[in-house]
Amino acid sequence: MSLVEEISKRRTFGIISHPDAGKTTLTEKLLLFGGAIQKAGAVKSNKITDHAKSDFMEIEKQRGISVATSVMGFNYRDIKINLLDTPGHQDFAEDTYRTLTAVDSVIMVIDCVKGVEIQTEKLMEVCRMRDTPVIVFINKLDREGRDPFELLDEIEEKLDIKVRPLSWPIGMGKRFKGVYSLYEKALHLFEPSKRMLSEGVSIDDLSDPVLDEKIGSNDANQIREDVELIEGVYPEFDTSEYLAGRVAPVFLGSAVNNFGVRELLDCFIDIAPIPKPRATEERVIEPNESKMSGFIFKIHANMDPKHRNRIAFLRVCSGEFERNKNYHHVRLDKAFRFSNVTAFMAQDKEVIDQAYPGDIIGLYDTGNLKIGDTLTEGEKSPYKGIPSFSPEIFKEVINMDAMKSKQLDKGLRQLMDEGVAQLFTYELGSRRVVGTVGALQFEVIQYRLQHEYGATCRFAPVNLYKACWIDSKEPKKLKEFVADKQRHIAKDKDGKLVFMAETKSWLQMVEQNFPEVNFHFISEY
Ligand code: G4P
């Protein structure tokens, strides 16, 4: 098969949701339809169970399990689908943000009872940064949920994206009878069963009396009215608007009952984007360029100090990746060869010889790769950075063993390369502050520094509100600002300048006083 054909057969996407909306269940059902697993219950939830929420070792174990399921490849209708799972626990939100840089589109699951939740809003912000196309799946229609029109309004308002329903429910909760697919012009009747469902009844014209026969006149009239309203209110579905990230088609169903999942998958295959061109610092690289290029978006370390290997997840962006071939590591300006290369098929890892744009492969690494690294066939320009978000919690690292400061430095550097947290080093006095999204990471860092690097540290509280990346069109003004606020200036892991703001009101005042300086909450600007 030619490279162009390989590319046209691939769809790489992520499923995102607020915890408990049904991401794991939907993932499993997609794999069942794809024939990648034979029975329900095979997909391990990567959710952190309640009893484990305060036990980070347990969480690490669960994360270990989830590494195998964090990328799942399967075939459906002759298309190779790469599904990227994202951590459910919000303390690992940065992991999710990074994963989203490696996908071409997203399916967002929303619970019809709870509507749009906070984590969904944050994730959508990340999708919007890249105009990632989004399909919405409203789940749990077998429960008494909110009015679907109201849910659509809420999605538009809170997620700041236009929606276009492509299926519509007939009743809800106990009265839920099925959905009418506006996409296929077919009626799908609901059977509360965990078995696969039969084909829908094709109904081109809603005035067809078959509809009354199937669901009764009351519901038939209701769906006629609803569909008329939908066609009147929402513009016709336009795939190009979806691909541009401006309109999200909406499907409804019940993942646990296999309901609405196949229609979702069929439409996904029809409309979801094939691997897209990607920007490096210098130019945009097309996936069908013959030379291989790709970037690392995730690293999973083995916590066992005896086996200090780690798996780096590479998204192939162009050309054909071949095992045992030399590739140029752009940051280190050195050639590397990978002999242990795995693909992730459903729940198994398998050694592979080739991979194509859109594929995610695992490279075994001993510490040369870090998040954001680019591999090419000679090209020197790296893929544009993976953004860091200003952390929420900050603590100062205090070394507890002066004899082990080298180990501490190395450990901190490697953990930051894996993206466990962010490190900010103050210009004055070299104080080091670790910033995280959740409190759990501090425990993880302390434990791992001790057990893997033999370094002991403690974390001292610091009074910080945000870390803001700073720049200015006028280099002189930036210099003046840095001189004026020297005590509050640090550098991030890439040496970028960061202003460490202590309070919100103080930051606002500083912004007013230095209008020529730009303050960013995201490292990519
Ligand atoms: P997550 O990955 O987004 O966190 O959610 P997950 O799939 O684990 O689903 C969360 C809970 O919602 C699960 O129940 C799951 O069974 C249930 N669920 C998923 N889809 C539907 C649906 O369509 N209808 C209904 N009524 N429930 C649904 P649980 O009690 O936490 O776990 P379990 O013991 O049922 O597996």
| DSSP string of 95-139, one letter each residue | HHHHHHTT-SEEEEEEETTTBS-HHHHHHHHHHHHTT--EEEEEE
> 63 CA to middle of ligand 1, Å?
19
> Ligand 1 atom 29: the closest Cα is on which residue?
20
> 254 CA to middle of ligand 1, Å?
10
**Atom in ligand 1 nearest the alpha carbon of residue 17:** 3
> Ligand 1 atom 16: the closest Cα is on which residue?
256
Intrachain domains 3-271 and 281-376 with the same fold: yes
> 200 CA to middle of ligand 1, Å?
25
Q: Find out whether the beta carbon of 20 lies less than 6 Å from any atom of ligand 1.
A: yes
Its pTM stands at 0.86
CATH topology of domain 3-271: Rossmann fold (3.40.50)
How do the domains of the chain map onto residue ranges?
Answer: 3-271, 281-376, 387-524
Architecture of domain 387-524: 2-Layer Sandwich (3.30)
> 468 CA to middle of ligand 1, Å?
38
> 139 CA to middle of ligand 1, Å?
10
> pLDDT in tens for each of the 525 residues of the chain?
899 999 999 999 999 988 889 988 898 889 888 877 766 655 555 554 544 444 555 555 555 444 445 788 889 999 999 999 877 666 667 788 888 999 999 999 999 999 998 888 888 888 988 899 999 999 999 999 999 999 999 999 999 999 999 999 998 888 888 889 999 888 888 876 555 455 667 787 888 888 888 888 999 999 999 999 999 999 999 999 999 999 999 999 999 888 889 899 999 999 999 999 999 999 999 999 999 999 999 888 765 556 667 889 999 999 999 999 999 999 999 999 999 898 876 556 677 889 999 999 999 988 899 899 999 999 999 998 777 888 889 999 999 998 999 999 999 988 888 888 999 999 888 899 999 987 878 888 898 899 889 999 999 999 999 999 999 999 999 999 999 999 999 999 889 999 999 999 999 999 999 999 999 998 876
For residue 490, give every residue at least 6 positions away whose Cβ sits within 8 Å of its Cβ, in sequence order, or none. Answer: 424, 425, 426, 427, 433, 467, 497, 498, 500
Q: What's the gap between Cα 25 and its chain centre?
A: 17
258 Ramachandran zone, left/alpha/beta (phi>0; psi -120 to 50):
left
Residue from 234, 47, 29, 21 nearest 110 by CA:
21
Q: Tell me yes or no: is domain 281-376 CATH 3.40.50.300.
A: yes
